[in-house]
């Protein structure tokens, strides 16, 4: 969420693409009140185009940062909903900057679910584009 908090520093428009079904995103958008749009790409065409791969189950579920995140959620009373649609926990993401000519000018491919570039790098990449 640090990107949302620093949106005014970014040189350009921000969009978030997720592989969730678009109908699942409306409530999330309302709760989070993000200053940028969120798009659903359940077929993962964007993920394939950017080369965002998949992690192994071992890489995801044995990562202490993942365990810590789930522990924090449980401590706040958030419980997994057995009736909720299941998401692919092995799909990796990343961050990309596309310049004004629609060319990919910078990309960061995450190596695990908790791997994100420092926001300062993203800000610099957007200014350089």
Quick check: 54 and 110 in contact, CB under 8 A?
no
Give residue 83's pLDDT.
Answer: 46
3-state secondary structure of 127: helix
Q: Which CATH architecture has domain 2-128?
A: 3-Layer(aba) Sandwich (3.40)
As averages over each run of 10 residues, the pLDDT of the chain (129 residues) reads 73 87 84 87 95 90 81 79 66 94 96 89 91
pLDDT at 2: 76
DSSP lists the bridge partners of residue 98 as 104
pTM for the model: 0.77
* Domain range list for the chain: 2-128
Q: What is the C-alpha separation between 57 and 5, in angstroms, rounded? A: 31
Asked if 108 and 126 touch (Cβ cutoff 8 Å), the reply is: no
Q: What pLDDT was estimated at residue 105?
A: 96
pLDDT of 87 reads: 76
């Amino acid at each position: 969420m640090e990107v949302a908090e620093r949106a005014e520093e970014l040189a350009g428009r921000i969009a978030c693409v997720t592989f969730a079904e678009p109908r699942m995103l409306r409530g999330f958008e309302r709760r989070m009140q993000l200053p940028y749009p969120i798009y659903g790409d359940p077929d993962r065409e964007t993920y394939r185009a950017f080369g965002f791969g998949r992690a192994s189950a071992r890489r995801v579920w044995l990562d202490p940062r993942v365990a810590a995140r789930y522990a924090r959620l449980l401590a706040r009373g958030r419980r997994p909903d057995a009736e909720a649609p299941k998401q692919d926990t092995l799909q990796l993401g990343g961050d990309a900057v596309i310049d004004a000519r629609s060319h990919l000018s910078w990309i960061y491919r995450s190596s695990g679910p908790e791997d994100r570039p420092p926001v300062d790098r993203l800000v610099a990449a957007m200014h350089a584009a």
